[in-house]
Structure 1
Amino acid sequence: MVRVVKVDRDEHLLAAIDGLYREVWNQSIIERLKKHINYDGFRGYLMKSNDEGIIGFSYGYISRSGQYYHNILANELGPIAYEKWLEDCFEFVELAVHPNHRNQGYGTILIHELLKEVTNKTTVLTTQVDNRSARSLYQRLGWVVVKEPFIPSKNDSPYVIMGKAL
Structure 2
Amino acid sequence: MVKILELASNEIVQQVSELYMQVWKSEDLSIKERILKHSTYEGFRGFIIMTEEDRVIGFAYGYTSLPGQFYHELLAKELNEEEYKLWLQDCFEFVELAVHPSFRKEGYGKMLITKLLEDVNNKTTILTTQMDNTSARSLYESLQWKVLKAPFYPGNSKEPYVIMGKELN
- Give, in whole Å, the separation in 2 of the partners of 1:80 and 1:159: 21
Corresponding letter in the other structure for 1:39: Y
The aligned residue for residue 163 of structure 1 is 165
- Give, in whole Å, the separation in 2 of the partners of 1:26 and 1:68: 24
The aligned residue for residue 19 of structure 1 is 18
Does the 8 Å contact 2:74/2:155 carry over to 1? no
The aligned residue for residue 6 of structure 1 is 6
Q: State TM-score, norm by structure 1.
A: 0.97
RMSD between superposed Cα atoms in Å: 0.9
User: 1:34 Cα shift?
Assistant: 1.0
Q: State TM-score, norm by structure 2.
A: 0.95
Corresponding letter in the other structure for 1:38: T
Which segments of 5 or more consecutive residues in structure 1 lack a partner in the other structure? none
Q: 1:82 aligns with which of 74, 81, 84?
A: 84
User: 1:154 Cα shift?
Assistant: 2.5
Corresponding letter in the other structure for 1:16: Q
User: 1:72 Cα shift?
Assistant: 0.3
- Give, in whole Å, the separation in 2 of the partners of 1:41 and 1:156: 31
The aligned residue for residue 59 of structure 2 is 57
Aligned residues: 165
Q: Is residue 2:73 matched to residue 1:71?
A: yes
- Greater shift, 37-46 or 150-159, is seen at 150-159
Which segments of 5 or more consecutive residues in structure 2 lack a partner in the other structure? none
The aligned residue for residue 38 of structure 1 is 40
User: 1:155 Cα shift?
Assistant: 3.0
Q: How does 1:57-136 map to 2 (within 5 A)?
A: 57-136=59-138
Secondary structure of 2:105 counterpart? coil
| Deviation sequence 1:49-90 (CA, Å, 0-9, x none) | 023600000000000000000000001112111001000000
Q: How does 1:143-158 map to 2 (within 5 A)?
A: 143-158=145-160
Does the 8 Å contact 2:49/2:59 carry over to 1? yes
- Give, in whole Å, the separation in 2 of the partners of 1:155 and 1:110: 27
- Give, in whole Å, the separation in 1 of the partners of 2:124 and 2:155: 24
Corresponding letter in the other structure for 1:143: W
User: 1:45 Cα shift?
Assistant: 0.3
Corresponding letter in the other structure for 2:115: E
Identity %: 52
| Deviation sequence 1:9-48 (CA, Å, 0-9, x none) | x211110100110110123311111110100000000000
- Give, in whole Å, the separation in 2 of the partners of 1:3 and 1:67: 32
